[in-house]
Amino acid sequence: MTEYAPHLDTNTIVNFGLLAMLLAVLVAIVRTRSLLAAVLLMGIYSLISAVWFVVLDAADVAFTEAVVGAGVSTAFLLGAILLTRTESLTKRWQDMVMPGLVCVGAGVLLFYAALDLPLFGDPSAPANAHVGRFYIEETKNDVGVPNIVTAVLASYRGFDTLGETIVVFAGGIGVALMLGFGERSMGDLPPALRSPVMEALAESDHHVVLRSVAKLLIPIIALYAFYVQFHGEVGAGGGFQAGVIFAVAVILHALIFGLADTMDAIPPELARAFAALGVLLYSGVGVINMINGGNFLDYDHLFPLAFEAGLPGSHLSGGYHHWGQHFGIIIIELGVLFTVAATMIAMFYAFAGRAADVVGEGARG
């Protein structure tokens, strides 16, 4: 182990400050009985972690944490709470002994394992010495995109990212299996009962400010999603972040203008179809590579070699453009965008559609 010389520079102070804030929020989450407060505190937790990731120079991860952790998952959890209750049940202490023991045991094991972790920023740590170094040195020759994170995510580790995309897709299907795609309530209920809360919001004159600002912001948010999408090769961002941001624009529309209007604009069938299309697009790129004689998701074989050699500035004819890699990354990121955005929208439809049921049942009973 290398010698550790403690020093207090600004970065260290900010790091410890943010970690202390994370700890404080964590204690608050554990102690609060209100699930609503817990959900909002978890959003704050994600936001602080995102800031911490920025301090650690992990802009892509910070971006994902901010949009997923602090943004859309807070909205989903609020939707879930709307379907259940806002206070957690109080339990007898006897019921909490075993879970408590398991938690303490897991914590002790994690602390024990943490002792073996390399020091923060240690250049000889495995993550920095072997593959990390390889990616940094070879991305320019192998893939030719400026953002190494995107190169690792979409090209070197394209198979892992395919798995993540499928996980998102499977998660959406899981929610749909439990709650439906949201159109059940829309179809069965009379128009008067269609998501009364949101319809009341849209009808009420109190919300003219919200509606004006939302009308202004929704197109900008959607446009920003596409900026993040197509800028992912050169800067922070990519399909996951862009998909979530686009879904947030749609969710904002549903919250302000009513679920029925949003479902007219983006029908649940469309969301379902795009969720599947994204996975198909991603794995389709992999299969095309195999047809052209490469490995699965080896974008160098996205185009037939003779064709790529004829493209201007191709690396096969002495240039520096890896056209197969460029197009492969763009297409699979598009697949990720489709799957993530459509799955998030479908999941929101599922929650919001059931909320209409719950409120409707309350109104009838």
- Name the residue among 335, 208, 347 with its Cα closest to residue 281: 335
Among 179-187, 211-219, 306-314, 318-326, the segment contacting another protein (CB under 8 A): 211-219
159, 296 contact by CB (below 8 A): yes
Size of the site for another protein (CB under 8 A): 9
Least Cβ distance, residue 315 to another protein (angstroms): 30
Selected binder of another protein within 1, 114, 216, 291 (CB under 8 A)? 216
Selected binder of another protein within 29, 210, 260, 270 (CB under 8 A)? 210
Window 178-207: residues binding another protein (CB under 8 A):
204-207
- Rank residues 78 and 309 by Cβ distance to another protein and give the closer one: 78
Least Cβ distance, residue 24 to another protein (angstroms): 14
* DSSP-assigned beta bridge partners for residue 87: 34
Q: Measured on CA atoms in the order 147, 150, 155, 157, is the torsion positive or negative? A: positive
- Rank residues 110 and 208 by Cβ distance to another protein and give the closer one: 208
Selected binder of another protein within 97, 102, 213, 234 (CB under 8 A)? 213
- Rank residues 2 and 204 by Cβ distance to another protein and give the closer one: 204
Does 30 bind another protein (CB under 8 A)? Our answer is no
- Rank residues 153 and 255 by Cβ distance to another protein and give the closer one: 255
Least Cβ distance, residue 352 to another protein (angstroms): 18
- Rank residues 87 and 160 by Cβ distance to another protein and give the closer one: 87
Selected binder of another protein within 30, 110, 209, 306 (CB under 8 A)? 209
Least Cβ distance, residue 204 to another protein (angstroms): 8
Q: Between helices 208-231 and 239-257, what is the axis angle to 10°?
A: 170
Window 60-79: residues binding another protein (CB under 8 A):
none
- Rank residues 217 and 276 by Cβ distance to another protein and give the closer one: 217
Selected binder of another protein within 217, 280, 316, 330 (CB under 8 A)? 217
Residues constituting the chain: 365
Does 24 bind another protein (CB under 8 A)? Our answer is no
Least Cβ distance, residue 87 to another protein (angstroms): 17
Structure tokens at 281: 């697009």
- Rank residues 206 and 364 by Cβ distance to another protein and give the closer one: 206
- Rank residues 168 and 225 by Cβ distance to another protein and give the closer one: 225
The contact set with another protein (CB under 8 A) reads 204-207, 209-210, 213, 216-217
